[in-house]
Protein backbone atom coordinates (compact mmCIF):
# COMPACT_ATOMS: atom_id res chain seq x y z
CA UNK A 1 0.00 0.00 0.00
CA UNK A 2 2.84 2.39 0.79
CA UNK A 3 4.54 1.48 -2.48
CA UNK A 4 1.32 2.36 -4.32
CA UNK A 5 1.07 5.64 -2.40
CA UNK A 6 4.61 6.50 -3.47
CA UNK A 7 3.83 5.57 -7.07
CA UNK A 8 0.86 7.96 -6.94
CA UNK A 9 3.04 10.72 -5.45
CA UNK A 10 0.99 10.85 -2.24
CA UNK A 11 3.57 12.57 -0.05
CA UNK A 12 1.31 12.89 3.01
CA UNK A 13 -0.15 9.39 3.11
CA UNK A 14 1.31 6.47 5.06
CA UNK A 15 -0.26 3.12 5.88
CA UNK A 16 0.38 0.95 8.94
CA UNK A 17 -2.82 -1.11 9.23
CA UNK A 18 -4.82 -2.61 6.31
CA UNK A 19 -8.13 -1.97 8.09
CA UNK A 20 -7.55 1.72 8.82
CA UNK A 21 -7.81 1.68 12.61
CA UNK A 22 -5.88 4.39 14.47
CA UNK A 23 -2.09 4.23 14.59
CA UNK A 24 0.35 7.12 15.04
CA UNK A 25 2.03 6.50 11.68
CA UNK A 26 -1.20 5.73 9.83
CA UNK A 27 -2.32 8.98 8.21
CA UNK A 28 -3.46 10.82 5.09
CA UNK A 29 -5.05 14.16 4.09
CA UNK A 30 -8.37 15.27 2.62
CA UNK A 31 -6.72 16.08 -0.71
CA UNK A 32 -4.93 12.75 -0.97
CA UNK A 33 -8.10 10.86 -0.04
CA UNK A 34 -9.72 12.62 -3.00
CA UNK A 35 -6.83 11.52 -5.23
CA UNK A 36 -7.21 7.93 -4.00
CA UNK A 37 -10.97 8.04 -4.57
CA UNK A 38 -10.49 9.38 -8.10
CA UNK A 39 -8.02 6.56 -8.81
CA UNK A 40 -10.43 3.95 -7.44
CA UNK A 41 -13.40 5.25 -9.41
CA UNK A 42 -11.53 4.54 -12.64
CA UNK A 43 -11.79 0.83 -11.73
CA UNK A 44 -15.21 -0.41 -12.86
CA UNK A 45 -15.69 -2.99 -10.11
CA UNK A 46 -14.77 -0.51 -7.37
CA UNK A 47 -17.09 2.11 -8.85
CA UNK A 48 -19.94 -0.40 -8.98
CA UNK A 49 -19.43 -1.50 -5.36
CA UNK A 50 -19.30 2.00 -3.84
CA UNK A 51 -22.33 3.03 -5.90
CA UNK A 52 -24.50 0.13 -4.73
CA UNK A 53 -27.11 1.11 -2.13
CA UNK A 54 -27.88 -2.42 -0.92
CA UNK A 55 -27.04 -5.99 -1.84
CA UNK A 56 -28.42 -9.40 -0.89
CA UNK A 57 -25.96 -12.18 -0.05
CA UNK A 58 -26.57 -15.81 0.82
CA UNK A 59 -24.85 -17.08 3.97
CA UNK A 60 -25.37 -20.75 4.89
CA UNK A 61 -28.67 -20.83 3.11
CA UNK A 62 -29.94 -17.59 4.62
CA UNK A 63 -30.37 -14.36 2.68
CA UNK A 64 -28.91 -11.26 4.29
CA UNK A 65 -29.24 -7.70 3.06
CA UNK A 66 -26.09 -5.54 3.24
CA UNK A 67 -26.75 -1.79 3.20
CA UNK A 68 -24.35 0.96 2.19
CA UNK A 69 -23.63 3.35 5.10
CA UNK A 70 -23.20 6.34 2.76
CA UNK A 71 -26.22 8.41 3.76
CA UNK A 72 -26.01 10.60 0.62
CA UNK A 73 -26.16 7.72 -1.87
CA UNK A 74 -29.63 7.68 -3.40
CA UNK A 75 -30.69 10.76 -1.44
CA UNK A 76 -28.73 13.59 -3.05
CA UNK A 77 -28.78 14.36 -6.76
CA UNK A 78 -25.76 12.99 -8.61
CA UNK A 79 -24.08 11.05 -5.77
CA UNK A 80 -22.50 7.78 -6.94
CA UNK A 81 -20.07 6.92 -4.08
CA UNK A 82 -17.75 6.64 -2.23
CA UNK A 83 -17.09 5.75 1.40
CA UNK A 84 -17.92 6.53 5.03
CA UNK A 85 -15.42 6.13 7.85
CA UNK A 86 -15.11 6.32 11.61
CA UNK A 87 -12.46 5.79 14.27
CA UNK A 88 -12.08 7.43 17.66
CA UNK A 89 -9.14 9.43 16.32
CA UNK A 90 -10.63 10.39 12.97
CA UNK A 91 -14.26 10.89 14.06
CA UNK A 92 -16.93 10.81 11.33
CA UNK A 93 -15.59 10.99 7.78
CA UNK A 94 -17.16 10.86 4.34
CA UNK A 95 -15.73 10.86 0.81
CA UNK A 96 -18.45 11.61 -1.75
CA UNK A 97 -18.40 11.45 -5.55
CA UNK A 98 -21.03 13.54 -7.34
CA UNK A 99 -21.68 14.20 -11.01
CA UNK A 100 -24.19 16.67 -12.43
CA UNK A 101 -24.05 17.37 -16.15
CA UNK A 102 -20.36 17.76 -17.07
CA UNK A 103 -19.11 18.69 -13.57
CA UNK A 104 -17.72 15.70 -11.64
CA UNK A 105 -16.70 16.42 -8.04
CA UNK A 106 -15.14 14.57 -5.11
CA UNK A 107 -15.98 16.02 -1.68
CA UNK A 108 -14.06 15.03 1.46
CA UNK A 109 -15.24 15.79 5.00
CA UNK A 110 -13.06 14.64 7.92
CA UNK A 111 -13.28 14.89 11.69
CA UNK A 112 -17.01 15.59 12.08
CA UNK A 113 -18.29 15.06 15.64
CA UNK A 114 -21.49 13.35 14.53
CA UNK A 115 -22.98 11.67 11.47
CA UNK A 116 -25.45 14.56 11.22
CA UNK A 117 -22.65 17.16 11.04
CA UNK A 118 -20.79 15.02 8.51
CA UNK A 119 -23.88 14.96 6.29
CA UNK A 120 -24.63 18.66 6.68
CA UNK A 121 -21.06 19.74 5.91
CA UNK A 122 -20.88 17.45 2.88
CA UNK A 123 -24.15 18.77 1.44
CA UNK A 124 -23.11 22.40 2.00
CA UNK A 125 -19.78 21.86 0.21
CA UNK A 126 -21.39 19.95 -2.64
CA UNK A 127 -24.17 22.49 -3.25
CA UNK A 128 -21.72 25.40 -3.02
CA UNK A 129 -19.52 23.77 -5.66
CA UNK A 130 -22.31 23.13 -8.14
CA UNK A 131 -23.78 26.58 -7.58
CA UNK A 132 -20.52 28.46 -8.14
CA UNK A 133 -18.36 26.36 -10.46
CA UNK A 134 -18.64 25.43 -14.11
CA UNK A 135 -16.64 23.46 -16.66
CA UNK A 136 -14.83 25.59 -19.23
CA UNK A 137 -13.52 24.17 -22.49
CA UNK A 138 -9.91 25.37 -22.38
CA UNK A 139 -8.98 23.57 -25.59
CA UNK A 140 -11.29 25.77 -27.65
CA UNK A 141 -9.81 28.95 -26.12
CA UNK A 142 -6.25 27.70 -26.66
CA UNK A 143 -6.80 26.70 -30.30
CA UNK A 144 -8.58 29.97 -31.09
CA UNK A 145 -5.73 32.13 -29.74
CA UNK A 146 -3.04 29.87 -31.21
CA UNK A 147 -4.66 30.06 -34.67
CA UNK A 148 -4.65 33.87 -34.52
CA UNK A 149 -0.99 33.87 -33.45
CA UNK A 150 -0.01 31.52 -36.30
CA UNK A 151 -1.45 33.80 -38.99
CA UNK A 152 1.66 35.98 -39.05
CA UNK A 153 4.19 33.64 -37.47
CA UNK A 154 6.81 34.33 -40.16
CA UNK A 155 6.77 38.00 -39.18
CA UNK A 156 7.41 37.00 -35.56
CA UNK A 157 10.24 34.49 -36.00
CA UNK A 158 13.22 34.82 -38.33
CA UNK A 159 15.00 31.68 -39.51
CA UNK A 160 18.69 32.38 -40.09
CA UNK A 161 20.50 30.35 -42.79
CA UNK A 162 17.43 28.16 -43.36
CA UNK A 163 16.63 26.42 -46.64
CA UNK A 164 12.97 27.27 -46.02
CA UNK A 165 11.64 30.72 -45.25
CA UNK A 166 8.30 29.60 -43.87
CA UNK A 167 8.01 27.67 -40.62
CA UNK A 168 5.22 25.33 -39.58
CA UNK A 169 4.40 24.70 -35.94
CA UNK A 170 2.06 22.65 -33.77
CA UNK A 171 0.95 22.71 -30.17
CA UNK A 172 2.19 19.89 -27.98
CA UNK A 173 -0.32 17.91 -25.90
CA UNK A 174 -2.92 20.00 -24.06
CA UNK A 175 -3.12 18.81 -20.46
CA UNK A 176 -6.59 20.07 -19.62
CA UNK A 177 -9.29 19.93 -22.30
CA UNK A 178 -11.92 20.96 -19.77
CA UNK A 179 -11.27 22.74 -16.49
CA UNK A 180 -13.54 23.65 -13.55
CA UNK A 181 -13.48 27.31 -12.49
CA UNK A 182 -15.66 29.74 -10.57
CA UNK A 183 -18.28 30.74 -13.15
CA UNK A 184 -17.86 34.48 -12.56
CA UNK A 185 -14.15 34.26 -13.45
CA UNK A 186 -14.46 32.66 -16.87
CA UNK A 187 -13.68 35.95 -18.62
CA UNK A 188 -10.47 36.28 -16.59
CA UNK A 189 -8.81 33.31 -18.30
CA UNK A 190 -5.77 34.51 -20.26
CA UNK A 191 -3.94 32.76 -23.08
CA UNK A 192 -0.34 34.04 -23.17
CA UNK A 193 1.81 33.00 -26.13
CA UNK A 194 5.58 33.51 -26.01
CA UNK A 195 8.08 32.67 -28.75
CA UNK A 196 11.74 33.04 -29.70
CA UNK A 197 12.62 35.90 -32.05
CA UNK A 198 15.10 34.00 -34.19
CA UNK A 199 16.00 30.43 -35.08
CA UNK A 200 19.28 29.37 -36.63
CA UNK A 201 19.16 26.44 -39.01
CA UNK A 202 19.26 23.53 -38.81
CA UNK A 203 15.99 23.41 -36.87
CA UNK A 204 14.69 19.98 -35.86
CA UNK A 205 11.14 18.66 -36.01
CA UNK A 206 9.50 18.83 -32.52
CA UNK A 207 12.01 21.46 -31.40
CA UNK A 208 10.40 23.86 -28.92
CA UNK A 209 10.19 27.40 -30.21
CA UNK A 210 7.71 28.89 -27.74
CA UNK A 211 4.98 28.24 -25.20
CA UNK A 212 1.27 28.77 -24.74
CA UNK A 213 0.34 29.48 -21.12
CA UNK A 214 -3.18 29.41 -19.67
CA UNK A 215 -3.36 31.82 -16.73
CA UNK A 216 -6.06 32.49 -14.17
CA UNK A 217 -5.56 34.93 -11.29
CA UNK A 218 -1.80 34.78 -11.75
CA UNK A 219 -1.68 30.98 -11.63
CA UNK A 220 -0.56 28.94 -14.64
CA UNK A 221 -3.21 26.28 -15.31
CA UNK A 222 -1.37 24.76 -18.26
CA UNK A 223 1.89 25.40 -20.09
CA UNK A 224 1.96 23.92 -23.60
CA UNK A 225 5.06 23.80 -25.78
CA UNK A 226 4.91 25.19 -29.30
CA UNK A 227 6.97 22.82 -31.43
CA UNK A 228 8.26 22.63 -34.99
CA UNK A 229 6.13 20.58 -37.36
CA UNK A 230 8.96 19.96 -39.84
CA UNK A 231 12.75 20.09 -40.08
CA UNK A 232 14.40 23.13 -41.62
CA UNK A 233 17.75 22.32 -43.17
CA UNK A 234 20.70 24.70 -43.11
CA UNK A 235 21.76 26.33 -46.37
CA UNK A 236 24.74 24.43 -47.81
CA UNK A 237 27.32 24.91 -50.56
CA UNK A 238 24.96 23.48 -53.19
CA UNK A 239 22.24 25.93 -52.19
CA UNK A 240 24.59 28.91 -52.51
CA UNK A 241 25.94 27.62 -55.84
CA UNK A 242 22.42 27.30 -57.24
CA UNK A 243 21.58 30.75 -55.98
CA UNK A 244 24.72 32.11 -57.62
CA UNK A 245 23.76 30.53 -60.95
CA UNK A 246 20.23 31.86 -60.65
CA UNK A 247 21.48 35.38 -60.00
CA UNK A 248 23.99 35.05 -62.88
CA UNK A 249 21.32 34.17 -65.44
CA UNK A 250 19.09 36.96 -64.17
CA UNK A 251 21.92 39.42 -64.68
CA UNK A 252 22.58 38.06 -68.17
CA UNK A 253 18.92 38.36 -69.09
CA UNK A 254 18.94 41.96 -67.91
CA UNK A 255 22.16 42.69 -69.80
CA UNK A 256 24.09 43.48 -66.67
CA UNK A 257 27.81 42.80 -66.76
CA UNK A 258 29.32 40.97 -63.79
pLDDT band at 257 (very low <50, low <70, confident <90, very high): low
Same domain flag for 20 and 64? yes
Same domain flag for 10 and 99? yes
**Contact indicator for 110, 28 with CB cutoff of 8 Å:** no
CATH for 90? 3.40.710.10
> 106 lies in a domain?
yes
Question: How many angstroms separate the CA atoms of 159 and 208, rounded?
Answer: 14
Which pLDDT score, from 0 to 100, does residue 19 have? 87
> 172 lies in a domain?
yes
> 204 lies in a domain?
yes
Range of the domain at 166: 137-237
When comparing pLDDT for 193 and 244, which is higher? 193
Report DSSP state, residue 152: T
pLDDT band at 81 (very low <50, low <70, confident <90, very high): very high
What's the number of domains the chain is made of? 2
What DSSP line would sit under 170-233, residue for residue?
A: EE---S-SEEEEEGGGGGG-EEEEEE-SEEES-B-TT-EEEEEEEEETTEEEEEEEEEESS-BP
Q: pLDDT averaged over the chain? A: 91
pLDDT (tens digit, 9 = 90+) per residue, 185-205? 999 999 999 999 999 889 999
> 244 lies in a domain?
no
> 253 lies in a domain?
no
> 246 lies in a domain?
no
> 122 lies in a domain?
no
Entry pTM = 0.76
Q: Give yes or no for residue 9 having a pLDDT over 60.
A: yes
Stretch 216-238: mean pLDDT: 89
Same domain flag for 21 and 84? yes
Which pLDDT score, from 0 to 100, does residue 228 have? 95
Same domain flag for 215 and 170? yes
pLDDT (tens digit, 9 = 90+) per residue, 119-168? 999 999 999 999 999 999 999 999 999 999 999 888 889 888 888 878 89
Same domain flag for 101 and 197? no
Q: Give yes or no for residue 236 having a pLDDT over 60.
A: yes
> 231 lies in a domain?
yes
Which pLDDT score, from 0 to 100, does residue 144 have? 94
Amino acid sequence: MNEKAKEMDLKNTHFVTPHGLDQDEHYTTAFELAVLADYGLKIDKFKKIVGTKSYNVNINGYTKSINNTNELLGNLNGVYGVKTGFTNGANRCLVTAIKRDSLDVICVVLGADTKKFRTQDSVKLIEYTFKNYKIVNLENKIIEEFSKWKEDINDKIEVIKGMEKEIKVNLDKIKFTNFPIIASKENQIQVLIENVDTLEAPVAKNQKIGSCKIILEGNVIDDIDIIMQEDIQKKNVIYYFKQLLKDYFIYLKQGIEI
